[in-house]
């Protein structure tokens, strides 16, 4: 994402918790590093760190804030400690809120600015065994949906980017954690459904539908460059039928039963299901997403 923006004439401030990990980013940035790209240290879970980071920006002047930091959490809820759940909310929800709170007052004063929040398809649709992660993304969607109305009055834009699966370290880190976890507290059937049914389907879904980080960066760039940016931006048109299904039945039954059948009854037909999903994605639904191309 940083690379995608620093080659335009925008001045980019990239942030990371541990600046010792900067080498990959610096290499990707090429000669923009030190010119249009600077690096600052930031931990979105720390009030102090957020304040120090924003205070070091000249006049606090930030035109575009991109909230990308996020952590995942997978597994049966019975085996996840409350502290682990709070860690997810501390990053995905409070981390984003902390950043917006720090940057928004100056944007409101200047009557200009654009806040981008990296949400997820899982901010719109619950996904089995992603209960807590999904809840954190629903929480940030609710926060942003409420904030967007007030911000409009101050000419400040707010946009959610809602990717489906993306091939990043996120996926690798979660799969590594799943492999080493034993899931104490969860019964044998639940662990079996999780490891043998859900994880297998999830691997299929990532393979069939996964986008690249570059795709997401391009979609984000499009949203930023748009004269009238949309509030919600699904990046993967294959997910529009899922979202449409949710809103087609206000009782919620259609979504719950469809996902149940997809996972437990047609799990072995997942590849075919993926093809059906692709067919369902007609051009009218595609128009509802932001495409990287």
Ligand X SMILES: NC(=O)c1ccc[n+]([C@@H]2O[C@H](COP(=O)([O-])OP(=O)(O)OC[C@H]3O[C@@H](n4cnc5c(N)ncnc54)[C@H](OP(=O)(O)O)[C@@H]3O)[C@@H](O)[C@H]2O)c1
What residues are labeled active site?
A: 133
Residue 246 binding ligand X, by CB under 6 A: no
φ, ψ dihedrals at 276, nearest 5° = -60, -45
For residues 257 and 244, the answer to whether their CB atoms sit within 8 Å is: no
Closest residue by Cα to residue 64 from 226, 213, 211, 215: 226
Residue closer to ligand X (CB basis): 18 or 48 = 18
- What's the alpha-carbon Rg for the chain, to the nearest Å? 20
- By CB under 6 A, name the one of 83, 169, 250, 293 that touches ligand X: 169
Q: Which of residues 55-94 bind ligand X (CB under 6 A)?
A: 68-71, 91
- By CB under 6 A, name the one of 36, 41, 168, 258 that touches ligand X: 168
Total residues at interface with ligand X (CB under 6 A): 23
The SS3 of residue 33 is strand
Residue 43 binding ligand X, by CB under 6 A: yes
Stretch that binds ligand X, among 32-40, 75-83, 160-168, 247-255 (CB under 6 A): 160-168
Residue 118 binding ligand X, by CB under 6 A: yes
Stretch that binds ligand X, among 15-23, 33-41, 220-228, 251-259 (CB under 6 A): 15-23
Residue with tokens 């299901």: 273
Maximum Cα interatomic distance, the chain, rounded to a whole number of Å: 58
Q: In the bound complex, what is the minimum distance in angstroms from residue 116's beta carbon to ligand X?
A: 11
Beta bridge partners of 250: none
The kind and range of the H/E element at 264 are: none
Residue 127 binding ligand X, by CB under 6 A: no
Q: Which of residues 193-232 bind ligand X (CB under 6 A)?
A: none
A 10 A CB-CB count for 228 gives: 5
Residue 171 binding ligand X, by CB under 6 A: yes
Beta bridge partners of 160: 117, 232
Measured CA to CA, the distance from residue 139 to residue 141 in angstroms comes to: 5
- By CB under 6 A, name the one of 75, 76, 95, 113 that touches ligand X: 95
Residue 116 binding ligand X, by CB under 6 A: no
Measured CA to CA, the distance from residue 10 to residue 37 in angstroms comes to: 9
Q: In the bound complex, what is the minimum distance in angstroms from residue 165's beta carbon to ligand X?
A: 5
For residues 116 and 224, the answer to whether their CB atoms sit within 8 Å is: yes
- By CB under 6 A, name the one of 4, 41, 148, 170 that touches ligand X: 170
Residue 236 binding ligand X, by CB under 6 A: no
- What is the contact surface with ligand X in residues (CB under 6 A)? 16-18, 42-45, 68-71, 91, 95, 118, 120, 163, 165-166, 168-171, 173
């Amino acid at each position: 994402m940083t690379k995608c923006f620093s080659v335009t004439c925008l001045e980019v401030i990239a942030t990371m918790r541990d600046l010792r990990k900067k080498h990959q980013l610096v290499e990707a940035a090429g000669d923009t590093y030190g010119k249009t790209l600077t690096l600052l240290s930031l931990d979105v879970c720390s009030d102090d760190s957020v304040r120090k980071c924003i205070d070091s920006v000249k006049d606090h002047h930030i035109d575009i804030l991109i909230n990308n930091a996020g952590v995942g959490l997978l597994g049966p809820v019975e085996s996840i400690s409350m502290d682990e759940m709070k860690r997810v909310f501390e990053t995905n929800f409070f981390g984003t809120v902390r950043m917006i709170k720090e940057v928004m007052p100056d944007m409101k004063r200047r009557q200009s600015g654009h806040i981008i929040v990296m949400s997820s398809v899982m901010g719109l649709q619950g996904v089995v065994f992603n209960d807590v992660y999904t809840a954190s993304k629903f929480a940030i969607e609710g926060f942003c949906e409420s904030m967007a109305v007030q911000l409009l009055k101050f000419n400040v834009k707010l946009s959610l980017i809602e990717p489906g699966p993306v091939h990043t370290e996120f996926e690798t880190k979660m799969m590594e954690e799943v492999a080493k976890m034993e899931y104490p507290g969860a019964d044998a059937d639940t662990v079996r459904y999780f490891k043998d049914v859900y994880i297998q389907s999830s691997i299929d879904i990532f393979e069939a539908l996964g986008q690249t980080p570059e795709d997401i960066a391009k979609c984000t760039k499009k949203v930023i460059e748009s004269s009238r940016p949309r509030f919600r931006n699904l990046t993967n048109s294959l997910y529009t039928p899922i979202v449409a299904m949710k809103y087609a039945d206000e009782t919620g039954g259609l979504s719950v039963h469809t996902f149940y059948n997809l996972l437990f009854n047609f799990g072995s037909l997942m590849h075919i299901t993926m093809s059906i999903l692709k067919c369902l994605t007609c051009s009218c639904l595609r128009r509802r997403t932001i495409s990287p191309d």
